Amino acid sequence: MANNTSGTNASCAYNFKVVLLGEGCVGKTSLVLRYVEDKFNDKHITTLQASFLNKKINIAGKRVNLCIWDTAGQERFHALGPIFYRMSNGAVLVYDITDEDSFQKVKNWVKELKKMLGNEVCLAIAGNKIDLEKERTVAIEDAEAYAVSVGAKHFLTSAKQNRGIEELFLELTRRMMERAREADQKASSLKRSGSARRNIVVVDDEVPAAGPRAGCCAGQAS
Ligand code: GDP
Ligand code: MG
C-alpha cells in the first residue's frame, strides 16, 4: 500500500496531522485501514512503511483533510522518536481491551506527548477489539476515568467489526477544529492588544505632562 498523497489540500479549510500510537499488535494499522479504506485483515500487517494516509471529511460545511500517521512497527523496539509525532494536532492512543499491559503503555505515551507537545495536542484513547468483549481485562470505568484525568476522550472500537471508528475520528476532528479556532482568535486578539499597547506607549513617550496634547496624540495614534 502506498502513501495516499494524491490531490491538493488547497481547497481544505483545515489540514490536521493525527498520529496513531500504542503497543504493537493492538490494532493501530487495522484501525487506520478500516477508517480510510474500509478494509480489514486478520493478519498482523507488517509490510507498512512508516507512512500516512489521507482522509477527507466534511464537518459543518468545512472541508477537512486528516493526515493520519501510522508506524512501521518501530514501537516494538521502543524506537519511535519525537520526529514521528512532532507537529501533531491530534493523537489516537490505542490499547487492546484484552491486554492490560497495552493500556499501561497508553499512559506512557500520554506522558511523552504532553511533555513534548504540551496541552495543545488533542487526545483520543481507543480501547480496541471490543468484538473480544468476553476476553476483556481492562475495566471500562478505569479507562474512562483515566481518559478524563488527562483531558482525553475514550472510545470503544473494533477494526474487525467497524465499530466506534467514525465516531472517534469525527469527535477528535471537531476538537482539533475548535482548538485551531481558539488559536486563531488568540493570535488576532494578541495582535490587537499589541497595537493598542503600542498606542499607549506613544502617548506616554511623546506627551510627558501636557494634558490637552495627550488627547490629540491618542486620537492620532488609534
Ligand atoms: P498494530 O501493530 O497495532 O498496527 O496492529 P495490527 O493492526 O497489525 O493488528 C494486530 C492484530 O490484531 C492483527 O492480527 C489484526 O487482525 C488484529 N486486530 C486488529 N484490530 C482488531 C479488532 O478490532 N478485533 C480483533 N479481533 N482483532 C483485531
Ligand atoms: Mg501496525
DSSP H helical segments within 62-139, as ranges?
82-85, 100-117
Ligand 2 centroid–CA 24 distance in Å is 7
Position in ligand 1 atom list of the atom nearest CA 163: 23
Please compute the mean of the pLDDT values over residues 35-54 and round it to a whole number. 79
pLDDT at residue 72, as a whole number: 73
Q: Please give the average per-residue pLDDT across 23-48, as a whole number.
A: 87
**Number of Cβ atoms within 10 Å of the Cβ of 170:** 12
Rounded mean pLDDT, 30-35: 95
Q: What pLDDT is attached to residue 219?
A: 38
pTM score of the predicted model: 0.82
Q: What pLDDT is attached to residue 49?
A: 53
**What is the Å distance from ligand 1's center to 35 Cα?**
13
Question: Quick one: which atom of ligand 1 is closest to the CA of 128?
Answer: 23
Q: Is 25 in the pocket of ligand 1 (CB under 6 A)?
A: yes
* Residue of higher predicted confidence among 75 and 191: 191
68, 102 Cβ separation under 8 angstroms: no
CATH topology of domain 13-182: Rossmann fold (3.40.50)
Higher-pLDDT residue of 208, 219 = 208
pLDDT at 215: 38
Q: Which atom of ligand 1 sits closest to the CA of residue 42?
A: 16
Q: Of 18, 19, 26, nearest to 105 (Cα)?
A: 26
| Interval 106-151: pLDDT, tens | 999 999 999 999 988 999 999 999 999 999 999 999 999 999 999 9
Q: Output b/e per residue, 178-196; b: 16+ Cβ within 10 A.
A: ebbeeeeeeeeeeeeeeee
Q: Is 98 in the pocket of ligand 1 (CB under 6 A)?
A: no
What is the predicted pLDDT for the residue at 44?
76
Domain ranges in the chain?
Answer: 13-182
- The CB density around residue 94, as the number of other CB atoms within 10 Å, is 30
Ligand nearest to the CA of 72: 2
Rg (CA), the chain: 23
Q: How far is the CA of 149 from the centre of ligand 2 (A)?
A: 27
Ligand 1 contact via 29 beta carbon (within 6 Å): yes
> 127: which strand partners?
95, 156
Give percent above pLDDT 70 in the chain.
Answer: 77
